[in-house]
Amino acid sequence: MSVFSGMSRPMKAAGVALIGVAIIAAVIGGISALSGGGSNEAGPSGTTTPPGTSTGAQPPSGSTPTTTPPASTSTNPTSPTPPPPTSPTPGRPTSGQPGQPGDQQAGNKWVTVRVFNNSTIKGLADRAAEDFRGSGWTINEVSNYSQGTIPTTTAFYRPGTDEEAAAKQLAQEFGIKAEPRFPGIESASPGVIVIVTKEYESGHKGS
C-alpha cells in the first residue's frame, strides 16, 4: 500500500515535492562534504597560502644580518711621540743650562783667539796667551803687531758674529777692552784678535 493512499490529490503533490527537496538537499550536502576536504586556506587579501608556509617577512636568501659593534670604551689616550733629540753643531760646544755655574762661561770659548804683542816687552804675547789658555780659551796664533800703536790691550771682533760675545767675555775675565775690528785688521782671518800692550804686564803680574 502506498504512503500516499488515502490522501487527497493536493496533499499527494505536496508530499512528493517535499521528498524531492529532501533528496536534492542530501545530494548537495554530500557533494559539499566531499569537495571541502581538499580546499586551501585563504591568506590575507584573498591570497592563497600553501600549507606550512609562514606569512611573516623573511630575509633575502644568503644575506647575513648586520650587527653594529659596540663603541669602544677604551679610555687610554694615545701617547704622543717624543721629538728626536737635537744634535749639537759639530765643532761647537753646547751652551750650559741655567743654574749650572761655569757652563755659560765656557759656551763662547770655542771661538779661537790670536794674540799679538804691540809693546817692546819681549814675550808679552806669549805670557798673555798662557793666561788665556789657563782659563780655557783656544789660542791658535801668537805673534807681533807692528802696523801701528794700540792705546791699550784690546780684544777685537767682527760685529754680529760669535766673535763679539767671545771678545766681550774674554775682556771681562781679564780686565781689558773689547771693540769692533778697525780697518787695518777687519779683513783678517776669523777669530778674536787680542793686541797686547805694555800695561798688560803690570796689570797681570803673577797671574
DSSP-assigned beta bridge partners for residue 117: 144, 196
Does the pLDDT value for residue 45 go beyond 60? no
What are the tens digits of pLDDT across the range 114-139? 999 999 999 999 999 999 999 999 99
Q: How many residues are given for the chain?
A: 207
Label the pairing between strands 192-196 and 154-157: antiparallel
Helices (H) and strands (E) in the chain, counts: 5, 5
Q: What is the mean pLDDT of residues 94-102?
A: 42
What are the tens digits of pLDDT across the range 46-66? 444 444 444 444 544 544 545
Please tell me the predicted confidence (pLDDT) of residue 50: 46
Contact in structure between 192 and 138 (CB atoms under 8 Å): no
Domain coordinates in residue numbering, the chain: 110-203
Half-sphere CA count of 6, side-chain side, radius 13 A: 3
SS3 117: strand
Residue 29 belongs to what H/E stretch? helix 9-36
Q: Candidates 3.40.630.30, 3.30.2320.30, 1.10.4100.10, 3.30.70.2390; correct CATH number of 110-203?
A: 3.30.70.2390
Rg (CA), the chain: 62
For every residue of 146-180, DSSP letters joined together read -SS--SS-EEEE-TTSHHHHHHHHHHHHHT-EEEE
What are the tens digits of pLDDT across the range 141-167? 999 999 999 999 999 999 999 999 999
